[in-house]
Amino acid sequence: MTSIETDALEVSEQKLAKPLDAAMLKKSNLHQMRLAEEMFTRNHPGVQIDHDKHNEIMTDWGMSGYSEKWREIINDPGFNKHPRIRGDFDKVTLDDLDYFRLKGELPEE
């Protein structure tokens, strides 16, 4: 992982209300990277993602505010109680993040 990728993920995790253990932090970071790639391909159709693109992808993720919204979602009291998500990072979708950015809450389902 490059320094920019690491910085973007560390900033995203810095202000967590409850510290994550190492395994949960790794799971959170990996899912953020998957979502960042999904966001990038949505915003840049046809662009091939290779190792050299990861800095650009993670920079876009951080600059667009998604890493901040990710942190807000996993700190949201409804995160663990949400009927679909139930505290599982892998169940948060890019659509969930977009909804949270607009409404300030997770979608009902």
Whether the predicted model's global pTM rises above the 0.85 cut: no
**98 domain-assigned:** yes
**30 domain-assigned:** yes
**18 domain-assigned:** no
**Which residues constitute the domain of residue 96?**
3-13+25-103
Amino acid in position 83: P
pLDDT of residue 19: 64
**88 domain-assigned:** yes
Question: Which tokens go with 52?
Answer: 């050299």
pLDDT of residue 41: 92
Looking at the structure of the chain, the number of domains it has is: 1
Q: Are 28 and 73 in contact (CB under 8 A)?
A: no
**pLDDT tens per residue across span 24-69:** 888 888 999 999 999 999 998 998 888 888 888 999 999 999 999 9
**pLDDT tens per residue across span 12-35:** 444 445 566 788 888 888 999 999
**41 domain-assigned:** yes
pLDDT of residue 63: 93
**43 domain-assigned:** yes
**20 domain-assigned:** no
CA distances from 61 to 27, 77, 86 (A): 17, 24, 24
